[in-house]
Structure 1
């Protein structure tokens, strides 16, 4: 499963929320027309419509067909994704410490053969890209390896939380590894051991190795 990056519509929705929070758009006020919003935010009509749909679902906007789109509330519960995006690296690492061993243990029980192939694909890709010193691609392959384990864990909520957190983990890799793949070469062996533990359905070993990876004990 590839890392999902923020869409243009999501970015526009966030900018609209910022405008509403700062009273650029007041409660009861009609938003500019679609062509005007397209010009303001530099995106196409479909992105504007999707952004408005997102905020309508969240109860911030109300669309009156033939009349316009109106601001009806400033109260929006901050999404898990937004909270994780704002979190410090240490906080995200703590989330990983709580999740990874549990996810690995459950993946050892619940994985399908197809899911196991996907995990192995990213494990091999991680090794190849590390050896070729293709840093950013290597970091993404590592994240996708762990996301694939989450996909195989059999718990939709755990999977979704991990997928959201994975975006911040990727950012932390980009910051802390200085465009290097050396630590990924070193940790390839223990990642291979994690894959094997999951493949062997060894629950305790998978959980232990996953925790060692998070704690960088290798």
Structure 2
């Protein structure tokens, strides 16, 4: 599965949270009616309803049928996704680097043939786009190669945390690689080694190579 962008409902939910924390929507007060919220946030009715559902589950809003939707709490614990989107990129990279070796080792043990094919497909796409110097597409292919490995690791929690971190890695690629793919060409061989170690079910080697990639030891 590729990295997915936030849904409109999730974005609206985050904007509503900001409004609640900023006292734009005080606790005890009723939210504007749906048509007004649609106009404020520029989305359709279904996105507004889904956003309200998200915040109702979190205990922030209370929907009173026939009366309206009320703000009932400011005690909002930010999701890991939101926290990482606000974090410094160095912090996000550190989180991902702590997980890479463990995930690669588990993927070597637990992968299915379907998952292995997905990893290989992104590996090949990464190489093709690097050679064509299609930077943005190459960056996404690289991220999705590593996410595909996480999906093969057999641990849903590890996979979810890794996916959330990876969604924010694109920021560092855009900043650090100056819209070129030179380092991706250089590192293609070691990424191929990582794939081969997973394919051959060698967890120790997979962990070692994953750590080398983290440390940028490409030679």
TM range (shorter): over 0.9
SS of the residue aligned with 2:168? helix
The aligned counterpart of 2:88 is 88
Q: d(CA) in 2 for partners of 1:28 and 1:83?
A: 26
Alignment of 1:176-191 (within 5 A): 176-191=176-191
Q: Deviations over 1:2-42 (max 9, x none)?
A: 10111111111111111110111111101001000000111
The C-alpha deviation readout for 1:191-215, integer Å capped at 9, x for no partner, is 0000000000111110000001011
Deviation at 1:157, TM superposition (A): 0.5
Please say if 1:194 is aligned against 2:194: yes
Task: State the Cα deviation string for residues 33-80 of structure 1 (Å, max 9, x = none).
Answer: 100000011111111111101100111000011111000000011111
Q: Could you state the TM-score of these two structures normalised by the residue count of structure 1?
A: 0.98
Question: 2-side partners of 1:23 and 1:203: how far apart?
Answer: 51
Partner of 2:206: 206
Q: Distance in 2 between matches of 1:158 and 1:119?
A: 17
Whole-angstrom CA distance in 1 between matches of 2:154 and 2:14: 32
Structure 2 distance, partners of 1:124, 1:68, is 53
CA distance in 2, matches of 1:171, 1:36: 34
- For residues 27-46 of structure 1, the aligned pairs below 5 Å read 27-46=27-46
**Could you tell me which residue of structure 2 aligns to residue 69 of structure 1?**
69
Structure 1 window deviating more from structure 2 (38-47 vs 166-175): it is 166-175
Tell whether 2:169 aligns with 1:169.
yes
Q: What residue ranges of structure 1 are gaps of 5+ in the alignment?
A: none
The RMSD of aligned alpha carbons is: 0.7
Give how far 1:108 is off: 0.3
Distance 1:208 1:178 in 2: 29
Please give the TM-score of this superposition, normalised by the length of structure 2.
0.98
- Larger deviation: 172-181 or 139-148? 172-181
Whole-angstrom CA distance in 2 between matches of 1:200 and 1:96: 24
Structure 1 equivalent of residue 2 of structure 2: 2
Give the match's secondary structure for 1:43: coil
Residues in 1 aligned to 2:26 and 2:88: alpha-carbon distance in whole angstroms:
32
Count of matched residue positions in the alignment of Structure 1 and Structure 2: 218
- The corresponding residue for 2:60 is 60
C-alpha contact 2:96 2:166 (8 A) present in aligned 1 = no
Counterpart-to-counterpart distance in 2, 1:13 and 1:96: 26
Q: Secondary structure at the match of 1:99?
A: helix
Other structure's SS at 1:82 match: helix
Aligned-partner Cα distance in 2 for 1:67–1:163: 39
Gaps of 5+ in 2: none
Aligned equivalents of 1:48, 1:11: Cα separation in 2:
10
